[in-house]
Amino acid sequence: MVIFITGISSGFGLETARLLAQEGHTVYGTVRRTVEPLPKVHYLQVDVRDQQAVNDAVQQIVEKEGRIDVLINNAGMGIGGPLEFATEEEIRLQMDTNFMGLVHCVDAVLPYMRQQKSGKIIALSSIGGLMGLPFQGFYSASKFAIEGYCEALRLETKSFGIQVVVLRPGDFATGFTGSRKKVADEAALQAYPIYKTAIAKVEHDENGGLKPVVLARKISKIIKKKNPRHGYVVASLEQKLSVLLKRILPAKWFARILGSYYRV
């Protein structure tokens, strides 16, 4: 299969590109900086926030391969801090990367997938796309947006034989933790003294989380499935339980549980 993955310089994207190439797929991946190349992976220097750059990359793939069978929307970033103190620049960076980057890629591949009457679109959301996480509010907002977008996209494109699958990872030990943009404004820290404790808990859980190859293997299985589910939670048993509780408990009860966990 011809597979287009965004954000393969590290973490989920790196491990997924490595595994899929080893399995014999033709893999194209985007990066924003020069990296040590993986064997049998084709690199494209693209910022997914740039629609024209994404269009050019997709056209390049189609001209060479004749088709795109799978799009894996992986590129993303996170900002941490009190919602009140996030700057407009930070908010736009968060939403433009995580959500608009996805939209740009889908818009670029859809004409070809519609023409070939087939295709899989795999979008990385998060457990944070199912529940608003304290001091990661705009990250959650970007992932909630992905959830709603993909729900609509799935209905609009099913008549073309296109499948839309949403992945919701829990805590994973990737470079995401170290690259998170965090509010360092002293006024924010004074106004929200619980922020330091909450973000420390987040980082502790991430650093002790699953290895990214676990998600890569799940993606490989989804690609092979004839009829994959609409969505998958890939997380520890505890985090899968939290998703279940979110669905079945009254909102106030779940909010108390989540607040207690993050000590807010």
* 125: annotated active-site residue: yes
All residues at 6 or more sequence positions from 113 whose CB lies less than 8 Å from its CB, including other chains: 68, 119, 121, 157, 160, 162
In the set 9, 126, 140, 142, the catalytic residue is 9
In the set 28, 120, 125, 140, the catalytic residue is 125
* 246: annotated active-site residue: no
* 195: annotated active-site residue: no
Strands annotated E in the chain:
2-5, 26-31, 41-45, 70-73, 79-80, 119-124, 162-169, 181-182, 231-234
Round to whole Å and give the CA distance between 111 and 106: 9
In the set 112, 139, 192, 262, the catalytic residue is 139
8 Å CB contact between 77 and 94 = yes
* 143: annotated active-site residue: yes
In the set 112, 140, 142, 143, the catalytic residue is 143
Write the CA distances from 199 to 81, 90, 245, 259, integer angstroms.
8, 17, 22, 13
Mind telling me the catalytic residues?
9, 125, 139, 143
